[in-house]
Amino acid sequence: MSHCSSRALTLLSSVFGACGLLLVGIAVSTDYWLYMEEGTVLPQNQTTEVKMALHAGLWRVCFFAGREKGRCVASEYFLEPEINLVTENTENILKTVRTATPFPMVSLFLVFTAFVISNIGHIRPQRTILAFVSGIFFILSGLSLVVGLVLYISSINDEVMNRPSSSEQYFHYRYGWSFAFAASSFLLKEVMSQGPQESSEWGGLLGA
């Protein structure tokens, strides 16, 4: 019974680790962290006209409405003069969120390292130190990711709060599924930071 429980815990921690690695990998590599839309409110009938809409990731910005519809550009080039961003605040949002980029990248590296060490520990359960080392790496990976997420959110909120209000213009933004994947990966990493240690404890009990 204990042996089955230990194997189930080991399998579960491996699955969670793989899911966490996959989620943060997809989040880092895709362009759907943030959606933004700008336009004008027509005074005649109070309808709206979209001037610009985009979705952005850590590396690229893609426009799906407005004059730049269908165009994708690398983040470091989004301020090219020919790209028509409606307001300076939108440009500032895209510029400030780039400060959060290194943290998900570091998190991806750390969770990959933790996943490898954790699986080596499962193959060689007598080396219990590997479980604790992988747990530390999972914790560090989670901390790096949550710092990046908080920095990303705060950068957007600061610019939105400083945005001048106008009855003739509107602005909407929302977080995309890439951001949700990153947040889900953080939760899995926190589970994984405990999983390897618990698995190691089970192995120690069985060995006794």
Please indicate, yes or no, if residue 194 is contained in any of the structural domains.
no
Higher local confidence (pLDDT), 27 or 84: 27
Which of 6-15, 83-92, 149-158 is the most confident on average?
149-158
Q: How many domains does the chain have?
A: 1
Please indicate, yes or no, if residue 176 is contained in any of the structural domains.
yes
**Residues near 158 by beta carbon (within 8 Å), at least 6 away in sequence:** 96
pLDDT per residue as tens digits for the range 44-54: 766 777 888 89
Please indicate, yes or no, if residue 55 is contained in any of the structural domains.
yes
Cα distance from N-terminal residue to C-terminal residue, the chain: 15
| Amino acid at site 53 | A
pLDDT value at 200 more than 60: no
Q: Which CATH number do you get for residue 171?
A: 1.20.140.150
Range of the domain at 108: 13-76+101-189
Query: Whole-model pTM?
Result: 0.80
CA distance 10 to 139: 18
Please indicate, yes or no, if residue 82 is contained in any of the structural domains.
no
pLDDT per residue as tens digits for the range 144-159: 999 999 999 998 998 8
Please indicate, yes or no, if residue 71 is contained in any of the structural domains.
yes
Higher local confidence (pLDDT), 85 or 135: 135
Please indicate, yes or no, if residue 87 is contained in any of the structural domains.
no
Please indicate, yes or no, if residue 8 is contained in any of the structural domains.
no
> What is the band of 12 on the pLDDT scale with cuts at 50, 70, 90?
confident
